[in-house]
Structures are given as C-alpha cells and as structure tokens.
Amino acid sequence: MHRLVRTTTLAAIALFVLRCGPSTTGVTGTQEPQPDPAAGDAGTVAPAEAGTASTTDAVSQPVPHVEPIVRPSGPDLTEAQQALVRGLNFMGASRWSEAAAAFEQATTLDPSYADAFLGLGQARGKLGDLVGAKTALERAVELRPEYGPNHAELGEVLFDLEEWDAAERELQAAARLDPTDGLSLGRLGVIYRRASRFDEAVAAYRQAIERVPDNPGLYNNLGVALRKLRRYDEAVEAHQHALTLEPDNPVFHFNLGVAFRGQGQEQLAIAEYRSAVRLDPTLADAYHDLGLLLANQGEDDAAIEALEKYLELAPPEDGGIDEVRQRLHELQD
C-alpha cells in the first residue's frame, strides 16, 4: 500500500458488502432486472441496503509509492525521534499497543511532531480506538495541513465512524494533495454511492483507476456504480476487467452476472452465477439469482436445487426469502 498502514478493516480484500435491488418474479415467472436502489453500504463501513442480491466493494490496497512517516536516521536523533523510531518498529511487528505508547511518548516530548501524531492515530485505529485515532489525526492535520496522508488517515477514521460529510472533506483533500492516492478516491466513490450520487461515484472510481490501474476492486466498484445508473454495457466491461485482474474472485463473477442480467443476457448471467457458487459455495445471493434465472429458462430441477440452497444459506431477515418460497412452491407443484 502506498501508506505505511491504513486503519480500515477493508485491507484484506476489503470487502464492504453492498446490497443491490432484489430480483423480482412477476405473475408470468419472468425475472426482470431492477435498478439497484442505493441506500448505503453494509459490512464494516456503512448502513445496509435493502435487497436480496449482494455485491461487494473490494478495494485492495494500492501499490506502495510514498510511506507517510519518514523514519529518522543518524547519530543525533532527538528523544522524540527515537520514540518515533521505536513506534515504527513496533508497528512493523504489529505490536499496536506498544506502538501507540511509543508514539504517544514522542508527542509528549515534542507536541509539534506531526509524524508522531500520524503514527499515534494509525496505532489507535488498529487498536479499535477510533475516537482516539480521530483526535490524534486531527492534530496531525493541524500541524501539517499540506500533507495528503494526514488527511487520508483522518478520512479513513471518519469513514469508519460514519461521519460522512467530514470524511468526504478529508478524503477530497487527500486525493488533491497526493497524486498517488487512489484509495481515498475509492473511498469517496463509496460515500457518493451511498448518498445516491452515482455520477460522482463513477467519476471518483475512474480517477482512482487512473492512479491505481491494477486494483481489481476499483473496477468492481465502478461496475456497481454504473449499474446504479443502468449503464449495463459499461458495467459489464468494468466487471470483466476486474476479473482479468482477479479471475477467481466469486463476488466479481456474481457482479458480472448481475450486469449481464441487466443487459437481458440471461445465459451469460447464469454462467457467471455458477462460477460464483463454484468458487464460493456459501454465496447465498448467487444461488438466489441463479435459481430464478434457471426457472425463467424452464430448468425447473436445477432452479429448485439453487433456490433450496439459497434458503439454506440466507439469513432469516433477508428480504428475498418469501419470494423464493413462493417460487419454489410453484416449481414443485
């Protein structure tokens, strides 16, 4: 990643689960693609959307460009610099409590040491102390307002705290000040999308891709935003590009299936849903859409199998359960 550490839990493929609009079955049994009614993102970052077909924001970390904290070196380090180095060493070993203590010592020894507050904010974020991280990072921004990574880290924490307006301001500043920062633009895309600002989300993801062209999650998220605008041809292209970069990601296959469904290409959608459940047999929403499309194609036995699997895996509060039970009843009669 182009920063030493990011506080968000999205890193590992940082999957923020976004709920899309449900597939619907009319009286004729024909499933029609519905526009995705954006209301937010679920998972680790934002409120859930209603619906029965999940997609996923998968924003992988960008390739390293600039580390946010410069490691001091030389024989004449101040005590504050020595404490900062200890904090960086602890951080490198994922010893977050000790890192936080070392960075806090550095800020006490030198209350104007912006990098020490940045490290303290990062370490507190890793410890789950988002409020404490916010306080430290606000001080880092105050001390060094022209430094993009300070704004980026604060934007991350505000994002996780769901302080959306403030997070947007900080992430915008980060992207403006640091021309290598694609992740902040990706975060902005999520914020815009949850606010139904889909054109802005598309623009943010495209700009992020210009900076980080090999990040599959950004292409995936671009495709989701394009689907919100019912720009299915562009969405298919974006999801296909994500899969060229990460061909075994089941969520990417699922999302491509949803885009194909939007185009009315049911056979291509079925193939992608089948790839999704082959790669992840627990992906309930893929079974949901797969079953309904198979029913549309007259493949009743396969449809029943898929829909029963969906009912087995779906959480009790899923809005598609009653629809699926009704459809199963029709298919089994």
Contact 184, 155 (CB under 8 A): yes
Give the predicted TM-score (pTM) of the model: 0.79
Give the tens place of pLDDT for each residue, 204-245: 999 999 999 999 999 999 999 999 999 999 999 999 999 999
pLDDT in tens, 319-332: 889 999 999 999 99
State the 10-residue block means of pLDDT for the chain, 333 residues long. Answer: 36 32 31 32 26 40 57 94 97 97 98 98 97 98 97 97 98 97 96 97 98 96 97 98 98 98 97 98 96 95 96 90 92 88
How high is the pLDDT of residue 67? 65
Count of residues for the chain?
333
The β-bridge relationship of strands 24-25 and 31-32 is: antiparallel
Q: Where in the chain is the domain with CATH 1.25.40.10?
A: 9-63+185-332, 79-179
**Residues in Cβ contact with 66 at an 8 Å cutoff, skipping those fewer than 6 apart:** 2, 3, 149, 178, 180
Secondary-structure class of domain 79-179 per CATH: mainly alpha
Which pLDDT does position 68 carry in this prediction? 87
For the domain made up of 9-63+185-332, give the CATH fold: 1.25.40
What pLDDT is attached to residue 319?
Answer: 83
| Segment holding 259, helix H or strand E | helix 250-263
End-to-end CA distance of the chain: 55
| Cα→Cα distances 246→123, 216, 238, 252, 280, Å | 31, 6, 12, 8, 14
